[in-house]
């Protein structure tokens, strides 16, 4: 079977999975290493970025407190039997449309909170990487402690292993137990928050107070939640990228060393290149041909056995 090299076994560069933080670090490394990079990313730049991180932290905390208050209101005011809250002489538990307004406002606040948290993480990632680049390795961990952190929570991983001192099994077991309990608490909070919102949405769906507008509110909330999940996944889940950095190296060799350039190009685009991968149509054709060959062999073996039997 004749093979069209570029069609059946095209050049496919490897896939690299990069998180949002790793992409920022790559860009910052390139900018810091460029001419004038160290001068631009000076202490004034760090101070300005730190102030912005603290401002984003304050806004995020305020929105989180507002979300917690609205969640508590949902639980106490709507899931309770006697609880009610009055505002300007109006009982919110019985007010028409208050459930729809509350959940729409909750979804909007949640979206704003996610956006602020990602903005804050971007700022903190840049500050952390700048500390690593501008500080001697032996002092880098202490430099990170001085930087702003999420909710001002700071952890320091000691390097006792450099003194050949290692944790005991009890120490390791205690650390694992702490991680498990923390994960269980996080999961419980997440499940509780989701359950409250699901119950609230189902209550609005079954007992709408604004007619068709209640359906519009639920559609809005659903779209916000879907967008939020995709938004968070885009920034916190590693994304696939086609790594063609080898072509950048090839381009640098074109004028510097033409002979090495031609040899490197042959390694990349040649018939035996490690980057050439069989296409799916080509694989299917090979599989079909293999199956046909085995069927023909099996048929011949059966006919031969029948002839011998006769």
pLDDT at site 183: 92
Q: Quick one: which of 223, 28, 238, 20 has its CA closest to 118?
A: 20
pLDDT digits (tens, 9 = 90+) for 87-123: 445 455 556 677 788 888 888 998 899 899 999 999 9
* Nearest-angstrom CA–CA distance, 97 and 290: 67
Determine how many CB atoms are found less than 10 A away from the CB of residue 304.
10
Instruction: Quickly tell me which residue has 């880098």 as its tokens.
Output: 140
At 93 the pLDDT is: 54
Q: Is 272 helix (H, G, I), strand (E, B) or coil?
A: coil
State residue 248's pLDDT score: 85
pLDDT exceeds cutoff 70 at 75:
yes
List the alpha helices (DSSP H) in the chain. 5-8, 20-33, 37-40, 43-73, 98-134, 137-146, 169-206, 212-236, 245-256, 258-269, 280-309
Average pLDDT score over residue span 238-249 = 87
| Cβ-Cβ contacts under 8 Å for 218 (sequence gap 6 or more) | 201, 204, 205
Q: What is the pLDDT of residues 12-67, one digit of tens each?
A: 888 889 999 899 999 999 999 888 888 898 888 988 998 998 999 999 999 988 88
Report the pLDDT averaged over residues 249-274. Answer: 81
Residue-level pLDDT at 87: 46
In this structure, the number of other CB atoms found within 10 A of the CB of residue 193 comes to 14
- Please state the rounded mean pLDDT for residues 159-186: 87
The 10s digit of each residue's pLDDT in 121-160 is 999 999 989 988 888 878 888 888 888 877 777 777 777 7
**pLDDT over 60 at 86, yes or no:** no
Pairing verdict, β 86-87 and 90-91 = antiparallel
Mean residue pLDDT of the chain comes to 81
The strand pair at 90-91 and 239-242 is best described as: unpaired
* In contact, 121 and 22? CB cutoff 8 Å: no
Q: What are the domain boundaries of the chain?
A: 18-161+187-241, 244-276, 285-310
pLDDT at 8: 54
pTM to 2 decimal places: 0.74
């Amino acid at each position: 079977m004749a093979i069209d090299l570029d069609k059946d076994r095209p050049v496919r560069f490897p896939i690299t999975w990069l998180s949002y933080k790793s992409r920022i670090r790559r860009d910052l490394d390139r900018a810091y290493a460029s001419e004038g990079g160290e001068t631009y990313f000076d202490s004034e730049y760090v101070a300005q970025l730190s102030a912005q991180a603290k401002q984003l932290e304050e806004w995020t905390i305020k929105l989180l407190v507002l979300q917690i208050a609205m969640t508590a209101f949902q639980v106490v005011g709507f899931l309770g039997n006697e609880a009610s809250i009055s505002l300007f002489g109006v009982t919110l538990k019985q007010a028409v449309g208050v459930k729809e307004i509350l959940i729409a406002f909750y979804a909007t606040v949640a979206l704003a909170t996610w956006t602020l948290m990602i903005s804050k993480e971007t700022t903190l990632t840049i500050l952390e990487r700048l500390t690593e680049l501008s500080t001697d390795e032996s002092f880098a961990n202490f430099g990170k402690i001085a930087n702003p952190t999420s909710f001002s929570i700071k952890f320091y991983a000691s390097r006792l292993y450099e003194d050949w001192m290692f944790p005991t099994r009890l120490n390791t077991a205690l650390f694992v137990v702490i991680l498990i309990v923390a994960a269980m608490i996080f999961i419980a909070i997440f499940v509780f928050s989701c359950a409250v919102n699901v119950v609230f949405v189902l209550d609005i769906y079954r007992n709408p107070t604004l007619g068709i507008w209640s359906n519009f509110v639920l559609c809005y909330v659903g779209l916000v939640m879907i967008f939020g999940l995709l938004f968070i996944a885009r920034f916190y889940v590693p994304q696939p990228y086609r790594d063609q950095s080898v072509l950048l190296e090839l381009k640098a060799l074109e004028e510097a060393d033409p002979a090495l350039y031609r040899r490197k190009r042959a390694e990349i685009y040649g018939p035996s290149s490690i980057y050439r991968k069989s296409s799916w149509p080509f694989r299917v054709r090979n599989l079909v041909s293999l199956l046909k060959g085995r069927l023909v062999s099996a048929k011949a073996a059966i006919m031969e056995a029948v002839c011998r039997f006769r």
